[in-house]
Structure 1
Amino acid sequence: MNKDFFLIGIDGGGSGTRVVLGDASGRELAQAASGPSGLGLGIERAWQSIEAGCREAFEVAGLTLDWSRCVLGCGLAGVNNRDWLADFRAKAPAVAALAVESDAYTTLLGAHGGAPGVIVALGTGSVAAVLDHNDACRTVSGYGYPSGDEASGAWIGLRIVVHAQQALDGRVPRDDLADALLAHIGTDDRDGLVVWLCEANQTAYARLAKIAVEQRAHPFAARLLGDAGVEVGKMIAALDPSSTLPVAMCGGLGAPLSAYVPQIYQSRLRGPLADSAHGGLQLAQREAARLAG
């Protein structure tokens, strides 16, 4: 392998991008973060966020970014849309090599160290996947906002905001949950909420999910989080009918929602060994080895 290469692992979603910079052997040099790079928010925006994160990582390491020396392993939300993926590759800078997989695959690599297992990744969006003994990956969910991504931040936010709507016009009592939602949105009247709703995207809705977790004792929030747990259980059952594989709960909502997953799965739940960005670094290592071979 060319010892002048740098390996870069990228985890790109609807809320942000995480970058892990490594040397040619995969030794970690620095980490960085930047804005969203999920492909559903735009291909140019994705590359802008990735470049910003890479530049920051190189700066932290005391180095200068040179795309021609970089092997990128990207795990991105939205690559299941083949048109977005083709556009993403077409707009890539002149890197040494580029490997692109779903964020589900890189999350699997990071969570189980490349060993067989299931992941349920819950962030702005959601996806669950299994890596079998043949290194084959299969996914469920991940169809995207607004019709899919069950149990995700956007899915929860889209539903929790209904409580604020009903509280504002008197269908349910005004309470702490409604107040917290409206304070986050920055309005206290119907017109202001309508303006926010008309402008909100998946990222904006996902930011409401933390309020559901904080207000989890509230009956509306508790019911919603319970529904999310049921959806997670359905994902696990679809991916591992044998009920034998470990299940890593990943993403910003992985740990908070673990308690709501049905009891039958609880003994198999665990935290990930590493995150999707480090899984991307493994992907970059594989791509570099393929080049060298």
Structure 2
Amino acid sequence: MSRRPSPSSSTAVPAARYLIGIDGGGTGTRARLVDSAGRRLGQGEAGPSALGQGVDQAWRNIRQAIDAAFLAAGLTPAAEADCALGLGLAGAEVATRRERFLASAPAYCKLALATDAATTLAGAHAGRPGTIVAVGTGTIGLARHADGRETSANGWGFPVGDEGSGAWLGLLAMQIAQQAFDGRSAAGALARAVWRTAGGSRAELLAWCEHAGQQRYAELAPLVFETEADDTQAAALLAAAAQAIEATVVAIDPRAELPLALCGSLGRRLEPYLDAATRARCVKPAGDAIDGALQLVREQIRQPLAPGIP
């Protein structure tokens, strides 16, 4: 695998035949392939590419998603030098992770890296001022104000932060299952659903938790929704998740001046649980995080910059 030149290199950058937008999080990676005229050609998916789960894994899954996008387009994967890559990755705000990721990058003709929150915001509001709360495996709120300022809240990472997220819900669901197992609380529908998934004995639950990370805890989140009607503890978790989203919105836009886009699989699913004032501010996203990643790399092609966090 060839390596890309240092950002400070004076080597001339060739024109890209293909632009590729990447949305990478703690559960999966999506790649969208477009040609130099902006025509969408194909899309592919692979495993997680959040940088907190490892740089080698991130690049492996990014490359798999890119290959899948070329395959979906009926094309042989192009040489790296013919591709410009825009990436929005969870964990890219951590400098050491970002530096390791960029240092091991293949030799794409252009590479632009941002956080997944930044590309989600750019895609949701087509580069205009607005706010997003992205809720999936993790949770992050980000606002771009009319004066160009950006404010963020939540998104401190699992397990200490990311309130309202799938991993957060799954962790709390496991706690409920453990408490019910040893008699500290009643065994409701949610606890029994977790036992069916993770194991019905103390040894099985301990083994599951020993090997579980952010992605695996997030896989328990659907059980909370599925048992809400029959379990007051599940209903309370969803109410708490909605409150966490509401608090995130207030923190990033305290004057409630900007349109709000709820993004991510759980963001849309939790919208009905929000208070009326928050729901009234919600708008349909203009685009997704991949649109934002493509916008990012187009901007860098027009005005070359060293890759980094916008």
- TM-score w.r.t. the length of structure 1 is 0.95
2:70 to 58, 71, 81: 58
Q: Identify the residue that residue 297 of structure 2 maps to in structure 1.
A: 284
Q: Identify the residue that residue 241 of structure 1 maps to in structure 2.
A: 254
> Does the 8 Å contact 1:255/1:271 carry over to 2?
no
Q: Identify the residue that residue 29 of structure 1 maps to in structure 2.
A: 41
Q: Per-residue deviation at 1:265?
A: 1.3
Aligned length: 291
Q: Identify the residue that residue 104 of structure 1 maps to in structure 2.
A: 117
The within-5 A match list for 1:29-178 is 29-63=41-75, 64-178=77-191
- Find the aligned partners of 1:173 and 1:158 in 2 and give their Cα distance: 18
RMSD: 1.7
| Counterparts in 2 of 1:7 and 1:134: CA distance versus 1, 3 Å | farther
- Find the aligned partners of 2:124 and 2:109 in 1 and give their Cα distance: 27
Q: Per-residue deviation at 1:136?
A: 4.2
1:204-256 CA-partner distances (Å, limit 9, x unpaired) = 11111111112222211111111111111111111112212111110010111
Q: Which amino acid aligns with 1:45?
A: Q
Does residue 190 of structure 1 match 2:210?
no
- Find the aligned partners of 1:133 and 1:165 in 2 and give their Cα distance: 47
Q: Taking every aligned residue pair, what percent have the same amino acid on both sides?
A: 41
Q: Which runs of 5+ in 2 are unaligned?
A: 1-12, 306-310
119-128 or 169-178, which moves further after superposition?
169-178
1:199 to 203, 211, 215: 211
Q: Identify the residue that residue 255 of structure 1 maps to in structure 2.
A: 268
Q: Per-residue deviation at 1:291?
A: 4.2
Q: Which runs of 5+ in 1 are unaligned?
A: none
Q: Per-residue deviation at 1:24?
A: 1.1
- Find the aligned partners of 1:31 and 1:135 in 2 and give their Cα distance: 32
- Find the aligned partners of 2:38 and 2:152 in 1 and give their Cα distance: 27
Q: Secondary structure at the match of 2:112?
A: strand
- Find the aligned partners of 2:116 and 2:16 in 1 and give their Cα distance: 27
Q: Which amino acid aligns with 1:196?
A: W
Q: Per-residue deviation at 1:273?
A: 2.3
1:106-146 CA-partner distances (Å, limit 9, x unpaired) = 00111111121100000111101012224443321111111
Q: Identify the residue that residue 4 of structure 2 maps to in structure 1.
A: none
Q: Per-residue deviation at 1:171?
A: 2.2
Q: Secondary structure at the match of 1:36?
A: coil
- TM-score w.r.t. the length of structure 2 is 0.90
> Does the 8 Å contact 2:173/2:190 carry over to 1?
no
- Find the aligned partners of 1:124 and 1:154 in 2 and give their Cα distance: 5
Q: Secondary structure at the match of 2:156?
A: coil
- Find the aligned partners of 1:271 and 1:226 in 2 and give their Cα distance: 23
> Does the 8 Å contact 2:16/2:81 carry over to 1?
no
Does residue 268 of structure 1 match 2:281?
yes
1:16 to 1, 13, 28: 28
Q: Per-residue deviation at 1:28?
A: 1.3
1:163-213 CA-partner distances (Å, limit 9, x unpaired) = 21122122223332222112222x111110011111110101111111111
Q: Secondary structure at the match of 2:187?
A: coil
Higher relative contact order (CA closer than 8 Å, sequence separation 6+): 1
